[in-house]
Structure 1
Amino acid sequence: MNKLKVAIIGCGAITYHRYAPEYASHPQAEIVAFVDVVPGRAEEFTSRYGGRAYFDYLRMLEEIKPDLVTVCTPNVYHAEMTIAAANAGAHVLVEKPMAASAEEAEAMIAAARSNGVQLMVGQSQRLMPPHLKAKELLSSGRLGRVLTFRCSAGHKGPESWSVDGRESWFFRKQEAIMGAAGDLGIHKADLIRWLLEDEVAEVSAYISNLDKAGSYVDDNLVCSLRMNSGAIGTLVASWTYYQGEDNTSIFWCEHGTLKIGTEPDFPVIIQLRDGTIEKYSVPGIATNDNMHSSGVVDVFIHGILEGKPPFIPGEEGFRSLKVILAAFESAESGKAVAVI
């Protein structure tokens, strides 16, 4: 079988740590192109992984005709690049947040559907071993219904890991569109929806820039969520956790409590109402400080080769995006906002 021809658009930190090495190590993938508008950046990757370097992604699509494209550029370009790749007949894996608006997300999904290609969104938290174990435990029914929850995601900010440091596009609103809410909050919104197998009905949020001087994007998000089931909880995302990363979730259920990421040696813990405590020593969650294989590339390629729907289809990415868009609307209006 011929290897799938892979093109990666955007040569920043996520490509360096995740997409380039994961595609390069996959036995059924061949990286044929890197694209970046920063002079020399794509060439740095081709010197290590092979393929051709491009400045113009449209020229790359025309000349290379890749089988699949990964889009990991500033958020404002996600939609146009995804649609162009789909129209060129390529399957697309796009980083989160998948789009800057509901209209863009709908157009991306429509483009993939009309061209008969797959569209997957890089909501990688679904594939982290502790979250897969948590999904198994919640789905077993042992804990009963989730009643309340608290989910947090935070780090020191993009300047600590972006290839451009404090000059990163993450801090330029016209390119990023959203800050911590789109970088981290959307991961937790997606995780909550997926673990609970439930949709967010209503959001009430505060969104602010508290400490990233000179930037107009948000560095903190705090919101309350009400699920369709009636479960309620909080979601927090921050770029000002200067003492270290946090990626923890706690779910209080009818028959016990599920904790994720609260103890390093035991990423998943359940405490039942009868006093029983079970600790699971599964592999940890990939972080900026401790990056390891995410599994995103594996499931994307598997779906393409098997002709199966993507593990995280565009429609799912859109539902999670709607939660964050509703949070911004709530923060601006000062009112709770229904997620439609």
Structure 2
Amino acid sequence: MCKVKVAIIGCGAISRFRHIPEYIQNKNVEIIAYCDTTIERAEAYALEYGGRFYKDYKEMIDSEPSLQAVSVCTPNSTHAEMTIYALNRGIHVLCEKPMAATVKEAQQMIEAAKSNNRILMIGHNQRLMAPHVKVKELLVNGNLGKVLTFRTTFGHPGPETWSVDGKESWFFRKEEAVMGALGDLGVHKVDLIRWLLEEEIIEVSAMIDTLDKTFSNVEDHANCLYKTESGVTGTMVASWIFKKGEDNSTILYCENGTIEVGTHQEYQVIVRLINGEIQKYQVGAIATNDKGGQRDSRVIEEFIKSILNNMSPLITGEEGMKSLNVILHSIKAANEKRTVSILSPSNVTSK
């Protein structure tokens, strides 16, 4: 079987810790090029792993006739233009989250994938992590009954602790990042809850602020209250101000007990039934941003599998757009200081 020829656009931390090593580990992949506006970063990877390096993504795509797929790992504001350019030239795209700055951009990305018969996958890795896969299995089993409410959190000390640019990172500049902790972390947990509950979030209240990263012009902390189609309500916290480490936990309160994930170091999933029974599962830890917590996210594996088998990816552009839409409405609710109904993406006209 011929290897899928892949290139990386954006050679920052997410490429270093996730995309590049996972592509290299995949026997069906050959990375043939790297691109970054700071060309020295692209050159360093090319020298280390082989391949060519570029400063301009358009030049790279147009200069590599054998190129079949790219990872877009750049500032959020550039995701749409780069993705659409690649798709229009017959290249499959794995785009980091949030997939775009607006729903309109997301729709354009999806249309480009459809019109060119190419795969567009969004890097929402939470639903692929072993503990969350186990939780999904438990919910599908039905023994716990209906989910009544939930709380989910994703917080860490902030991008400056792991970004290649530290406090100078694009994450802290709204013109490039578009949004802060909500786009970086919150969209992951929204995608997870939507997937676990198998229903859409239709109403949101939120409070967002910049509490600690005073050098930044994006939010570093968000508290959101969500309501789903069936009336399930729950909270989501996305934060860059958890100074003492990462919290990537979720608790589902169900009719017949609770499911805890990411609350215990040894047992990644714990079920507490109303009859007093406790079930503990060791299924592998959730990947973290700590060096010791970098584990295979399965995103690359699934992306390449979808290309080789010519099938829809596990996290489609449509799924990415729905999660983005919730985050954009969360920001709207916070800015307008009111509860807002979430229109479906097909009914949204983005600014």
TM-score (norm 2): 0.96
The ranges of structure 1 where at least 4 consecutive aligned residues each deviate by more than 2 angstroms after the TM superposition are none
Question: How far did residue 50 of structure 1 move?
Answer: 1.0
2:138 is the counterpart of 1:118? no
Corresponding position of 1:135: 136
What is the CA–CA distance in structure 1 between the aligned matches of 2:324 and 2:174, rounded to whole Å? 17
Q: Is the 8 A contact 1:20 1:49 kept in 2?
A: no
Corresponding position of 2:332: 329
Letter of the aligned partner of 1:179 in structure 2?
G
2:23 is the counterpart of 1:23? yes
Q: Is the 8 A contact 2:173 2:218 kept in 1?
A: yes
Ranges in structure 1 where 5+ consecutive residues have no aligned partner: none
Letter of the aligned partner of 2:280 in structure 1?
K
- Post-superposition Cα deviations, 1:221-279, rounded to whole Å, max 9, x if no partner, equal 10100000110000000000001100000000011100001101001011111111000
What is the CA–CA distance in structure 1 between the aligned matches of 2:338 and 2:296, rounded to whole Å? 40
Letter of the aligned partner of 1:193 in structure 2?
R
What is the CA–CA distance in structure 2 between the aligned matches of 1:39 and 1:14, rounded to whole Å? 17
What is the CA–CA distance in structure 1 between the aligned matches of 2:341 and 2:321, rounded to whole Å? 15
2:182 is the counterpart of 1:158? no
What is the CA–CA distance in structure 2 between the aligned matches of 1:284 and 1:185, rounded to whole Å? 20
Q: Is the 8 A contact 1:33 1:53 kept in 2?
A: yes
- Post-superposition Cα deviations, 1:142-169, rounded to whole Å, max 9, x if no partner, equal 1111000000000000000000111111
Q: 1:308 aligns with which of 311, 318, 323?
A: 311
What is the CA–CA distance in structure 1 between the aligned matches of 2:118 and 2:186, rounded to whole Å? 28
What is the CA–CA distance in structure 2 between the aligned matches of 1:61 and 1:184, rounded to whole Å? 30
Question: How far did residue 213 of structure 1 move?
Answer: 1.3
Q: Is the 8 A contact 2:153 2:237 kept in 1?
A: yes
Corresponding position of 1:265: 266
Q: How does 1:249-264 map to 2 (within 5 A)?
A: 249-264=250-265
Corresponding position of 1:338: 341
- Post-superposition Cα deviations, 1:117-138, rounded to whole Å, max 9, x if no partner, equal 0100000111111000001001
How many residues matched? 340
Letter of the aligned partner of 1:143 in structure 2?
L
Question: How far did residue 39 of structure 1 move?
Answer: 3.0
What is the CA–CA distance in structure 1 between the aligned matches of 2:69 and 2:277, rounded to whole Å? 48
What is the CA–CA distance in structure 1 between the aligned matches of 2:163 and 2:171, rounded to whole Å? 9
Q: Is the 8 A contact 2:39 2:54 kept in 1?
A: no
Ranges in structure 2 where 5+ consecutive residues have no aligned partner: 344-351
Q: Which SS does the other structure have where 1:170 is aligned?
A: helix
What is the CA–CA distance in structure 1 between the aligned matches of 2:283 and 2:180, rounded to whole Å? 31
Corresponding position of 2:294: 291
What is the CA–CA distance in structure 2 between the aligned matches of 1:39 and 1:325, rounded to whole Å? 33
Q: How does 1:1-340 map to 2 (within 5 A)?
A: 1-65=1-65, 66-289=67-290, 290-340=293-343
Q: Is the 8 A contact 2:180 2:219 kept in 1?
A: yes
What is the CA–CA distance in structure 1 between the aligned matches of 2:122 and 2:5, rounded to whole Å? 19
What is the CA–CA distance in structure 2 between the aligned matches of 1:49 and 1:95, rounded to whole Å? 22
CA RMSD for the aligned pairs? 0.6
What is the CA–CA distance in structure 1 between the aligned matches of 2:342 and 2:92, rounded to whole Å? 29
Percent of paired sites with the same residue: 54
Question: How far did residue 334 of structure 1 move?
Answer: 1.0
Question: How far did residue 292 of structure 1 move?
Answer: 1.1
Question: How far did residue 24 of structure 1 move?
Answer: 1.1
